[in-house]
A and B are shown apart, each in its own frame.
Chain A
Amino acid sequence: MSVPMVELKNVAKRFKDFVAAENINISVESGEFLTLLGPSGCGKTTTLRMIAGFEQPTEGEVWVNGQMVNHVEPYKRDVNTVFQSYALFPHMSVFNNIAYGLRMKKVPKSEIKERVEKILKLVQLEKFSSRKPHQLSGGQKQRVAIARALVNNPKVLLLDEPLGALDLKLRKQMQVELKHLQQELQITFVYVTHDQEEALTMSDRIIIMNDGMIEQIGSPTEIYERPKTRFIADFIGETNLFEGAVTRMDDQFVYVNCASQEIKVHREFTSDLSDQVSIAVRPEKMKILPAPDEELTAIRGILREKIYVGSVTKLIFEFPNGQHVTVNETEGHRGMSKIGDQLYIGWHPKDSVILRA
């Protein structure tokens, strides 16, 4: 197996009175798009800054391309950063901003010109090379920031919420462009975001962080469909959580008593088996049934609210125990139910997971 491009071994970062990151073990393969995802203050940016060299880990080791870099200054590391605020030098033109890294490394002038022009073409900003940053739009600044980092052919590109300042439409467009760029150039990306949709769209693997700790590492599908903790189930997408007690189990299923009913979940989808557990089911995995079904888990509920959000209509049901559940209205059922109706809501046992309560 090849040497990981970036490796963090038992890394911790403690500031005077709080722990920013603890027990961080990450290994990033060459050419991988890895995302650090979590709410603000979860330690993801601190982790990124330790890879860049702006922060020193209090404990543990940071490795880049097979070299321990704990005491290597940022200007000697083979990584480049795209900053959240872009940090484009306001007194320099687009060309000079992009050429900065090459000039610092004393690359010959003709080569600088060639490489900057090539990268300007790649990010489609050839016509803007003599503009100053304040004459650019948000999306253009973003491209310059990426070009300024990429022109140095870094081993790893670190991106700290690079799309955070853009509006929704532009953000979606840039997500696709960034992903294409990464696949084209085969550069290792370590990407920080708090936007779960962004993480799911772009990443090869996602690391979910919370309170300075890693909660789960996995592919977008794993993270979305098999969240390991309640926090993740709640943080990524929408989820219905039921609380209950485990009553029994057999070879195939675990049975949980909740909402005054027995719900079965596949044994392999359980990450915790204490007495009290939570069951998580995504709204789009639930459907409205005409009658109880042998195959599916079904619970009877009263339709309390309909929320139209454009692509789908969300139906809010109330279960006998008073719990509210969100179900996405399916194509076949559109407009058929009205508020106050008593209906069965069902889902397949493979579409639910058991989590620690």
Chain B
Amino acid sequence: MLKKENATLATDIPIKPKIKHSKKKINLAAIWTISPVTIWLLLFLFIPLFFILVVSVMSRGTYGGIEYTFTLENYARFFEPLYLRIIVVSIAMAAATTLICVVFGYPFAYIIAQSPAKYRTLLLLLVIVPFWTNSLIRTYAWIVLLRTEGVINTILLKIGLIAEPLTLLYNSGATLIGFVYTLFPFAVLPLYASIEKLDRTFLEASSDLGGRPWQTFLNVTLPLTFPGVVAASLLVFIPTLGLFFISDLMGGAKTMIIGNLIKNQFLTARDWPFGSAASIILMVLTLMMILFYLKVSGGKTDDTELL
């Protein structure tokens, strides 16, 4: 097929320049129309990113400034056990958050997608409502619930279920609660979108062919909504790595994730080059995840409209 096309192109030499000409025109028009976006991206994404990249290979000045001498020291530091551990913990926390969000988000989204159309909007609205409040405030609300003299402990003590207050706050479990709570809607929405657009006829076909409900779910529903699962995973996993204020506030700064590290380098340690290097590493990690997921899901589902 390809060969044939090449052959015809080669013989149709007189037409060639014409095609090129029109192509050029189209390209110019295309560039013109996308120029606002291009300028925006250039000013607010690529140039800042370039700065970060440049700073990440500079040295730290004695008083917290940037000394413009090239070094790879900032990257090398990540192979120290202290920082390697932060990366491992970050990934573990993000993976746990993703797993919990997707496992609970799937049935949640499924129920919304199955409910009568008139309730669907309302249910979706309820998922989105928390976004209307600042996430910092919502995190403080969790502290009110979980701390030693907090709502939960008080109630449990009152009804005599426990004799001493539980340590619910300032540990990695609390951080996990915070992460899951904050990112749960990010899992539900893409899952809902993919479950909702799943053609019911496929489920009927499966049932018609003898598939019991759970067989239908495993063989048809889950594979066909897999792009939604991938999208949900990405939308939860990636932001988790950067949610520093939750691990700060709820984890009592005991569970450090990459986000905390970056924040600390810029604000506390005043080591901008190392902070920049951490940012770049976070970005590379994220990109690797996305590529990995694209590859996995692309091979399995043949679905090009992922994300």
Contacts and interface: CB of A to CB of B under 8 A. Distances in A.
A89 B202 contact: yes
B195 to A, nearest CB: 15
A169 interface: no
A104 B215 contact: yes
Contacts of A105: 210
Interface residues of B, number: 20
B201 A100 contact: no
Contacts of A83: 201, 204-205
A91 to B, nearest CB: 5
Contact of A152 (B206, B210, B212): B210
A224 B219 CA distance: 46
Contact of A89 (B205, B207, B215, B300): B205
Interface string A65-102: 00000000111100111010101111100000000110
A131 to B, nearest CB: 12
A76 B301 CA distance: 29
B121 to A, nearest CB: 20
B224 A91 contact: yes
A134 interface: yes
B302 A100 contact: no
B252 interface: no
Given A89-B220, A104-B215, A134-B302, A80 B204 contact: no
Contact of B208 (A74, A132, A134): A74
Nearest to B205: A87
Interface residues of A, number: 26
Given A100-B219, A104-B215, A87 B199 contact: yes
A132 B215 CA distance: 21
Given A83-B201, A104-B215, A91 B223 contact: yes
A167 to B, nearest CB: 22
B125 interface: no
A267 B96 CA distance: 83
A52 interface: yes
B212 to A, nearest CB: 6
Interface string A129-148: 00010100000000000001
Interface string B173-216: 00000000000000000000000000101101111111110010
Given A91-B224, A91-B302, A100 B209 contact: yes
A90 B210 contact: no
Given A83-B201, A89-B220, A74 B207 contact: yes
A231 interface: no
B272 to A, nearest CB: 48
Chain B's interface: helix, strand, loop or mixed, by majority? helix
Contacts of A134: 302
A324 B220 CA distance: 56
A81 B211 contact: no
Nearest to A99: B209
Indicate the member of B205, B206, B209, B215 with the most A CB atoms within 10 Å.
Answer: B209
A148 B207 contact: no
Contacts of A132: 302
Contact of B212 (A53, A75, A91): A75
A139 B31 CA distance: 42
B223 to A, nearest CB: 5
Given A87-B199, A87-B205, A90-B224, A101 B210 contact: yes
Given A75-B210, A100-B209, A54 B224 contact: no
B220 A74 contact: no
A88 B205 CA distance: 8
Contacts of B202: 87, 89
Contacts of A149: 208-209
Contacts of A73: 207
A66 B211 CA distance: 23
Nearest to B203: A87
B118 to A, nearest CB: 13
Nearest to A104: B210
Given A74-B208, A87-B202, A87-B205, 4 more contacts: A75-B211, A76-B210, A80-B209, A89-B202
29 contacts: A52-B204, A53-B207, A54-B204, A54-B207, A73-B207, A74-B207, A74-B208, A75-B210, A75-B211, A76-B210, A79-B208, A83-B201, A83-B204, A85-B199, A85-B201, A87-B201, A87-B202, A88-B205, A89-B206, A89-B219, A89-B224, A90-B224, A90-B302, A100-B211, A105-B210, A134-B302, A148-B209, A149-B208, A152-B210
Query: Considering the complex of A and B, which 5 residue pairs feature the smallest CB-CB distances, nearest first?
Result: A101-B209, A87-B205, A104-B210, A87-B201, A74-B207
